[in-house]
Amino acid sequence: MRLIAPDEGMLYHIIEKRRPDLAKKIRNTRTIETVVVGLGGQGTRHAELMQQYGTAITAGIAPGRGGTRLLETIPIYNTISECLTEHPNIAVASIWRHYSTAKDATIEVIEAGIPVVVLISEGIPVRDVRDILVAARKHNTLLVGGNTPGVIFPPEGIKVGMLPDVFYPQEVSTEEFGPKGVTIISRSGAILYHLSDALASVGIAQNAVIGIGGDGAIGSTFRDLVPLAMEYKNTDLVVIAGEIGGCQEELLAEDIQKHPEKYPKPMVALISGAHAPEGKTMGHAGAIVSPGQTYGTFQSKKHALEQAGVPVANSQYDLIEEVKTKLNDKNYFDVEHYYKKMKTIWDAPAKKPGWSTLITNVMPNNLLISGYPLQDIVERKGFLEVAYLLIKGEFPDKKTLEEMRKIAVTAAKLPVPKITRLHNEDVSKTLVKYLVLDESLAAFPQEGIDGAVKKTIFCLGRAARYLSGIYGTEKALEKLNENEPFSYIIYRAITGNSKVNEKHSRLIEAMIVACVDHGVTPPSAQATLIAATTRAPYEVAVAHGVGAITDVHGGAGAKAAQFFNECIKKAKKEKIDVSLATRNLMREYIEEGKRVEGMGHRVHTKDPRRDVLWNLATQTGIASEHVQLSKIISTIFEQVRGMSLPINVDGVIGSIVADMGLDPTIAKVLFIYGRLAGLSAHYFEEVASQPRMRQINFAEAIYKGEEMRKIP
């Protein structure tokens, strides 16, 4: 069903009266933006329900959590002023803070100029409410609450607060909702649900529902809200749901008699608490009859409203009859159709558990990073650009990329301790030791909007320096040109050559980029995420991931390079065809129980990174006998084993490393280095968007990032 346009609904009507300039922007953007202030358990849970209903939640506010995300996708800011700098069109705020801090949070939002504020917090001291009311009046803010269940506008698909999705709008056709209906304004939240069912059972729509709040002192009363609802052209009738205690209903009745012009539309009232004993609080702080008082009782309210011409119903049945009479038995939708639709919603299977990632969408034979196919990225983008994309979701502009390059070069220039390595120690283990102990990396700030990406880039620079120490290539980095591409530094660190071979440098960078990420399920990503959920420091968490890169996970490229080398050597030594030598060696491997690495993939039948690396190897003139062998290895394997296993990215990288004449272990180093960027992205996404100490079911991860798109 199509919702009404944003500028046709009651919420827009309210905003326009408070902030005409903001209403004009809403007409242009076609969106009413909201913000959630206070992100504890209740605020977070109901933010999700509001979003599911259709509310446009633009941001969340939580001091100390700026730079993180609400519901995995919504940015969080420390203050409302920071938020409005980035999102100036926010029109509605819901406040979910504890009563002890609700005053300051609410006044901050009011003074920021947000025209509609829904104060969910309950039990706020009266002296604090007084200060909030003074601020609201000064800034012409519509304040609803405190202790309100919120507001909901069914034809607009917007709710702010904790009201359920049981209220139903007018249907102008089977495809489109309409703006007309009854407006319900209630002191009680629970009674609203019953009113909805009662009215819907006879085809009466609700165009707006407002819970004004149950505390003794609140922002907006019946006397404030009923005339506002009646000013809205599409409200046909107002239902007020009152209760014992206080004098709101009596004051409304008095205002109706004094200013009947403010109440041009019909009204029906329902009062709860007819049999409540004096002096006993009935659910709400405001629902208490003071002993000996002639106001606040059921009878005093009923009498006052009826004197003002407002019928008071004693039951839901009576309410339905009164409303039908006032509306001349008007129907807003087909009741049978309504119940069928509701049944579909109520009978829908429970939502499957899951959690979101915006980084990489892993599909058979395709990999999307923020919507961009990885094979296209490998072909067209450099490592720093891709590291930025992984964190920020977009490629950097030229100015930003230059800033990132300077950070990486600075990090690579910083000296490192003399690298000590145990005999046969895996390169991943060596790198882990030094990353964890790197004081400059630990001290590098990660706060702020760009903190995460800057720290990642700094880490990549440090890793280049450590790799040069591990491979004894420090001399190649002694006289770095601060203006050269970072890919040159990577080339020097890996090869030890001071003079850069640009073709080799380009291909090394492409192989690194091909390895940056493969979603949340690889062991290295899982290790980093588990550390991140405990809020381990960045360098510790990514070191966890690097440590999980072993010969079993991430080591296939090195073993493939070694295998290809052996095949070529065997062919030359025995002076036989390469394919024959490969068959013979493959049989030897099988007889010895050894695996032929670089073959097969758990997701891809045709690894999307394969062809682009082969093409680049050919274009740069590097492709030779090892790459040629990699193109026929799958056929040979099927001939020997009778199994069809396509070559994967590790096998292709192994063949290129072999053709470049590099140490086979470099293939694993390229994997580790590329994956370091992806692990960083997963770390920062976890701490930004997920609760601490969560139990992670990696199979439940759902990609919610950008859909497939072309690189600009």
What size, in residues, is the chain?
712
Is 284 considered catalytic here? yes
Contact, 310 vs 274, CB < 8 A? no
3-state helix, strand, coil in the chain (%, to 5): 50, 15, 35
Q: For residue 672, which of 560, 562, 545 has the smallest C-alpha distance?
A: 545
Q: Are strands 267-272 and 74-77 parallel, antiparallel or unpaired?
A: unpaired
Nearest residue to 489 via CA among 652, 673, 654: 673
* Continuous segment of H or E residues that includes residue 584: helix 578-591
The closest alpha carbon to 610, from 645, 648, 637, 644, belongs to: 648
* CA 614 to mean position of chain CA atoms: 36
Using CA atoms, how far apart are residues 478 and 469, in angstroms rounded to an integer? 12
Residue 514: name the closest of 391, 707, 402, 667 by CA.
Answer: 667
* Cα angle, residue 230 at apex, residues 136 and 217 outer, rounded to 5°: 35
Tokens, residue 446: 């990660």
Strand 235-243 versus strand 181-186 pairing type: parallel
- Residue 463 contacts residue 412 (beta carbons within 8 Å): no
What string of H, E and C letters represents the secondary structure of 625-638? HHHHHHHHHHHHHH
Alpha carbon 81 to chain centroid distance?
21
DSSP type of residue 156: G
Question: CA 254, 256, 261, 262 torsion: positive or negative?
Answer: positive
* Start-to-end Cα distance in the chain: 35
Token pair, residue 677, equals: 């960027």
Among 677, 435, 448, smallest CA distance to 537 is for 435
Specify the DSSP element, H or E, that contains 153: strand 150-153
Host H or E run for residue 654 = helix 649-659
From the list 265, 266, 270, 267, the residue with the least C-alpha distance to 317 is 270
Burial (Cβ within 10 Å: 0-12, 13-18, ≥19) of residue 424: exposed
Structure-block tokens of residue 360: 């990489």
DSSP 8-state class, residue 117 = E
For residue 270, which phi and psi values (nearest 5 degrees)? -130, 125
Of residues 13, 46, 139, 284, which has the active-site annotation? Answer: 284
And the tokens for 117? 């504020």
Identity of the amino acid at 271: I
Q: Which residues are catalytic?
A: 284
